[in-house]
Amino acid sequence: MEIVLAKHCGFCAGVKNAVDTAMSLECSNTYVLGEIIHNSEVVRQIREKGLKTVESLDEIPDECTVVFRSHGVPENYYAICRKRNIKVVDCTCGFVKRTQKIVKENYASGKHIVIVGEPSHPEVIGLLGWCNGDATVINDVSGDLGDSVQKELCVVCQTTFSAEKFDKIIKNIKKVCEKTVDVFKTICYTTVERQKEVEKLAKQCDAILVVGGLNSSNTNKLYELALKYCNNVFRLANADDLDYSNVKNFKSVGIVSGASTPNQQTREVLLKMEENTEVKATNPMDDVVAKIDNESKFKKGQTVQATISQATDDGLQILLPFSKKEVALSKDELDCETYNAADYVGKIGETIELLVVELKPSLKLSQKMIKVLQQEEALSAEIEAGKEFSVVCTGTNKGGLVAQLGTYSVFVPAKEIRPGFVKDLSKYEGKTLRLRAIEIKKSGRKEIIASQRVILQEERDARDAAKQEKEEEFFANISVGDIVEGKVERVTGFGAFVSVNGFDCLAHISDLSWTGAEAVTDILEIGKTYQFKVLKADKENKKVSIGYKQLQPQPWDLVDGKYNVGDIIHGKVVRIVPFGAFIEVEKGVDGLVHVSQISHERIETPSTCLNVGDEVDAKIIAVDTEARKMNLSIKALLPEGEKKRPQKTENGEEAPARRTRAPRRTEDDEVSSWNEGSIGGTSIADLLANAKNNK
C-alpha cells in the first residue's frame, strides 16, 4: 500500500498562535470563551492545564482574564470587558480581524452586509457583531437574499468556507442583485491551499482519510470536497476511529488533516496503519515525526513562539521552543516605532511570535515581518478577488513590464498594458500602473500576472455607454425650431461648436449674423453662453445645426421709425444698375437712387456720374418696410441750376450739346431691373462740390 501524506498538515498560524498562547498563560482566574479550537483532544489538554472554558462573558467574574479564540468575537465584547475590568488576551486570527474590519467599514458606509458561511459557526456569529447583527447569512447557492437584492452589497466569507462553493454563490448573487456588489474573498489562504491539495489527492488516490475534530468546519469542508472526487473517503476524529479493514485492500491512500488538527493526531493515524501492514509513504513518516517532536528545526517562512529572556541596547535575547540556547533578535526586527530596552525589561518571560526570515548562514528572526506579510496576504486576497491595485513600473523585458509589490514580483504582458498595440515599452518605466490580477502564484517565486488593459477597456466601454445613453436622451428631447441654451466651446473658420446639454452642436458662421461676419469671434465669445435656435437635428449621423441670427432682429425690422421720408442719409454706392444706383444706408439696408434722382439734368446712365465706392448724401423720398425698399434722391439736395459735366467723344473732344428724349420708364421697369448688375460710371464729386459752393 502506498500512503500519500498531504504537505499541509497541522495547525495553521492562527490556530497555533491561539493554542500556544493559551498553554502559556497562568491558569488562575483565566477563562477561554468557547472552545479554543474545534478539536476535542486539544480542548481536553487546555482544561487539564487548568484553564476554564465558558460559553458567555456572564460566566466570567470581574477583573479576571479572558482568551478570545481565533474565530473572533462581536465588537461590543471588548467594551464589556473594559467596563468590567476583564483583561483580554486576543487570539483572533489575522484573517478574521481583516474580515471584521471590512464588515465594520462597509456597514458604516451604508452597504448591506452578506456573510457567506455557516450561520451557527462562531466566526460568523462574531462577524454579525461588527454590523449590529444587520446582515444576511447564506451558505449555499440557493440562499435567499430577500429585499437585500435591491441594496448595495458588501459580501464577505467565513475564512474556512469552501472556495469552490463561495465562487458559485458569488456568481448567483451578481445575477440577482440590482446594484453594486463589492466582493471580498476572505477565505484564509491556507484553507484554499489545503482544499486544492485535497482535490488533487482525491483524484489520484483510491481512498482518503480526513483527520480532525468532527465539529471542525474547515476539516468538514475537506471531507466534503474529497467526496466529490473519490468514492472512498473516511472521516476520523483521531486514530481510534480508524478501522483498518476499510482501507486494507486499496493500493493508495491519501491522508489529510484540518487546520485545527495537531500533527500528533496525524502521526497516530500513520502509526496505526503501519502496525497493520507494511506501507510505502511518499512523505516518509520519519519526517512527520521529526516535525512534531523537534519544533526547533525551522524552515524559512515559519512562525514560532519565543520567550523573551533579556533586553539589551541592541535588541532582545530570546529562547526558542525546545532550546536552551539564546538567540539574538535585532531591534530593527521588532514591531515598534522606536526601540527602548527599558520598555521590554518588564516583558521578560513573555512570549512573542516571530517569523523565520533566514536559515543561513545563521538563523534570522523578525517580528515586524509578520505584520508585513499579514498585510501583504490580506492585500493579495483582495487582489485575487479582483480588487484594483497600483504599482510603479521598474523596468521592461521582452514580453512586457515588470514591477514589485512587497514580496511579489508583478508582470504585465505587453498585450495587457492598454487596448491596442504598444510599440515602445520603455516609456512606461517609472510610471504608475493601474492593474487587476490575472493570475497569482504564491508558491515558489511569488508572482502576480496582471492587466491594465481590462481596467482601461472597462472605463472606455462605460464612457461609450454613458455617451450613447446621453445622446439618445438628447435626441429624444430636441426638435427643429426649439430654442436652446449653449456654451461656446471652440471656434473654427466655418463656425462655432456649442455645447447644448453636453452635446456638441454646430453654429455655422453664415447663421451668426444677418449682415455677415468675417470671423466667429466678431459675434460670439468662447466660454460664454447664448441662446440658439435648432435648425436641423440629424439623429442618424449625430449632428445638430443651430443658428444665432435667427433669434436676432433683421436690419429691415428696425427701419420703421428709424428712417423716415425727408431724412438725409450718408451712404456708400454698392451697386450700379442701368436704372439707378444702390446706396448702403447701413449694414443690411440698401436704398435705390433712381437714375432720374441723381441730377436735375437728364443723364444716359448712372455710371456717368457715380462709381461703386463713392460716398454720397441723399434724401429719403419713400420707405416701404414690408417690401423692404427705400427710395433716395441725390438731386433733391442739389440746386436746380446745377449742370452736369459735359460728355466727351471717343477722341476726347467735347461733344456738342444735344437734346434727346429718353424713353419713358415706368415703375414696373424699375422694379424688374432692381437686381441687374452694375457698370462703370463717372464720378459726380465735382458736381457735388459746385453745389455746395452755390449754396
- Give the integer Cα–Cα distance in Å for 61 and 10: 34
Enclosing H/E stretch for 172: helix 163-176
Looking at the DSSP bridge assignments, the partners of residue 181 are 153
Alpha helices in 583-683 (DSSP H): 667-672
480's CB contacts (< 8 A; 6+ apart) are 534, 535, 536, 537
Alpha helices in 109-153 (DSSP H): 122-128
What confidence tens digit (pLDDT) does each residue in 450-486 have?
999 999 999 999 999 988 888 888 998 899 999 999 9
- Quote the pLDDT of residue 645: 45
Strand-pair category, 408-413 with 495-500: unpaired
Give, as one character, the DSSP assignment of residue 368.
H
- Quote the pLDDT of residue 619: 92
- Residue 222 grid cell: 475537506
72's CB contacts (< 8 A; 6+ apart) are 92, 93, 96, 97, 100, 122, 123, 126, 127
- Residue 92 grid cell: 483572533
Give residue for cell 480581524.
97
Give residue for cell 432692381.
674
- Give the integer Cα–Cα distance in Å for 254 and 256: 7
- Give the integer Cα–Cα distance in Å for 211 and 236: 5
* Residue ranges of the chain whose pLDDT lies below 70: 277-299, 321-325, 443-444, 641-695
- Give the integer Cα–Cα distance in Å for 546 and 482: 9
Name the percent of the chain in helix, strand, coil, to the closest 5. 35, 30, 40
> Is residue 4 within 8 Å of 205, Cβ to Cβ?
yes
Q: Which of 112, 157, 156, 119 is nearest to 135 (CA)?
A: 112
Give, as one character, the DSSP assignment of residue 312.
E
210: left (phi over 0), alpha (psi -120 to 50) or beta: beta
245's CB contacts (< 8 A; 6+ apart) are none
CA 139 to chain CA centroid, Å, is 30
- Give the integer Cα–Cα distance in Å for 207 and 205: 6
Give residue for cell 440746386.
639
Using DSSP, state whether 654 is helix, strand or coil: strand
- Quote the pLDDT of residue 647: 46
Enclosing H/E stretch for 594: strand 589-594
Q: Which of 164, 229, 220 is nearest to 199 (CA)?
A: 229
Looking at the DSSP bridge assignments, the partners of residue 441 are 447
Give, as one character, the DSSP assignment of residue 560.
B
Sheet strands (E) in 431-588: 432-441, 447-451, 483-491, 495-500, 503-508, 529-538, 543-547, 568-577, 580-586
- Give the integer Cα–Cα distance in Å for 303 and 351: 13
31's CB contacts (< 8 A; 6+ apart) are 51, 52, 53, 54, 59, 60, 64, 65, 66, 67
What confidence tens digit (pLDDT) does each residue in 224-281 have?
888 989 998 999 888 888 888 888 888 888 888 888 887 777 877 887 777 776 555 5
- Quote the pLDDT of residue 272: 78
Going across the sheet that includes 207-211, the strands are 233-236, 207-211, 252-257, 2-5, 280-281
Using DSSP, state whether 21 is helix, strand or coil: helix
Separation in Å, CA 140 to CA 113, 118, 159, 288, 358: 16, 9, 15, 36, 43
Give residue for cell 438731386.
635
> Is residue 116 within 8 Å of 158, Cβ to Cβ?
yes
Q: What are phi and psi of 617, to 5 degrees?
A: -100, 145
> Is residue 602 within 8 Å of 657, Cβ to Cβ?
no
- Quote the pLDDT of residue 269: 82
Give the Cβ contact number of residue 458 at 10 Å: 11
Q: Which of 434, 588, 416, 613 is nearest to 516 (CA)?
A: 588
Q: Which of 577, 614, 583, 581 is nearest to 598 (CA)?
A: 581
- Quote the pLDDT of residue 131: 94
The catalytic residues are 123
- Give the integer Cα–Cα distance in Å for 47 and 389: 46
- Give the integer Cα–Cα distance in Å for 351 and 222: 32
> Is residue 595 within 8 Å of 684, Cβ to Cβ?
no
> Is residue 318 within 8 Å of 383, Cβ to Cβ?
no
Alpha helices in 277-415 (DSSP H): 285-293, 341-345, 368-384
Looking at the DSSP bridge assignments, the partners of residue 391 are 433
Q: Which of 414, 505, 494, 409 is nearest to 453 (CA)?
A: 414
Determine whether 194 is exposed, middle or buried from the number of CB atoms within 10 Å of its CB (0-12, 13-18, 19+): buried
What confidence tens digit (pLDDT) does each residue in 513-546 have?
888 888 999 989 999 999 999 999 998 888 999 9
What confidence tens digit (pLDDT) does each residue in 487-507 have?
999 999 999 999 998 899 999
85: left (phi over 0), alpha (psi -120 to 50) or beta: left
- Give the integer Cα–Cα distance in Å for 476 and 569: 51
- Give the integer Cα–Cα distance in Å for 630 and 591: 5
- Quote the pLDDT of residue 289: 44
- Give the integer Cα–Cα distance in Å for 255 and 209: 5
- Give the integer Cα–Cα distance in Å for 236 and 411: 44
The answer, as to whether pTM is greater than 0.75, is no
Strand-pair category, 432-441 with 447-451: antiparallel
- Residue 43 grid cell: 480542548
